[in-house]
Chain A
Amino acid sequence: DAKTTQPPSMDCAEGRAANLPCNHSTISGNEYVYWYRQIHSQGPQYIIHGLKNNETNEMASLIITEDRKSSTLILPHATLRDTAVYYCIVRGPDLDYKLSFGAGTTVTVRA
């Protein structure tokens, strides 16, 4: 059963911000939102994760709504190298180690 819903694809202009939405309306209070991406022919790569508060690191920002039913991954200045499939994943705490991937959003950054 899918815990997250993402658009299948989106385009973004190089140098602009890319905003990737994710719905997770059934998320539980102790579940985290994780984002991974997978560049063609490579393994998935961790981007960022959060519980309630917005998070930022060198790769991206994660904005989680107050009701935690949706979130947005922001790539501040998209480059051609950011073209990939982006996965939004809901993950339980300690005992739920595994990640359950959906189909993700295929993001194409265009020059």
Chain B
Amino acid sequence: GAGVSQTPSNKVTEKGKYVELRCDPISGHTALYWYRQSLGQGPEFLIYFQGTGAADDSGLPNDRFFAVRPEGSVSTLKIQRTERGDSAVYLCASSLGPGELFFGEGSRLTVL
């Protein structure tokens, strides 16, 4: 596809469950970013990949959050033992080097 694709667009889960959110970046983009956005706030940085490795994971809130990008393209954000406070829109972005970030539409996570 032409843009960043995120799936699922909506996910409703119960407290304590495990969740995976997927991001397909723009083909050829080496950098990939995950952000989290709560209602009424700006996006909050979570993690940044350069290729397959996490170059900066300083924004991950705790060890329940983990992200991988095994082949340097698709990335998965994994959340264990979800809590109600994890409810947010999770945004993925990609870029070609340190240039413009292209964002996906986001995955809206609701934890009941």
Q: How far does the alpha carbon of A41 sit from the alpha carbon of B35 in the complex, in Å?
A: 15
Q: How far does the alpha carbon of A104 sit from the alpha carbon of B41 in the complex, in Å?
A: 8
Please report which residues of chain A, range 31-72, place their CB below 8 angstroms from some CB of chain B when the two chains form the complex: 36, 41-46, 49
Q: Using A93-B98, A97-B55, A97-B95 as known contacts, say yes or no to A43 and B104 having CB atoms under 8 A apart.
A: yes
Which of B11-19, B43-51, B69-77 lines the interface with chain A?
Answer: B43-51
Number of interface residues of A (CB under 8 A): 21
Instruction: For A98, give its contact among B4, B56, B103, B104 (CB under 8 Å).
Output: B56
- Interface assignment of A100: CB less than 8 Å from any CB of chain B: yes
Q: How far does the alpha carbon of A93 sit from the alpha carbon of B102 in the complex, in Å?
A: 18
The chain B residues found within 8 Å of chain A, CB to CB, are 4, 31, 33, 35, 41-45, 48, 50, 55-56, 91, 93, 95, 98, 100-106
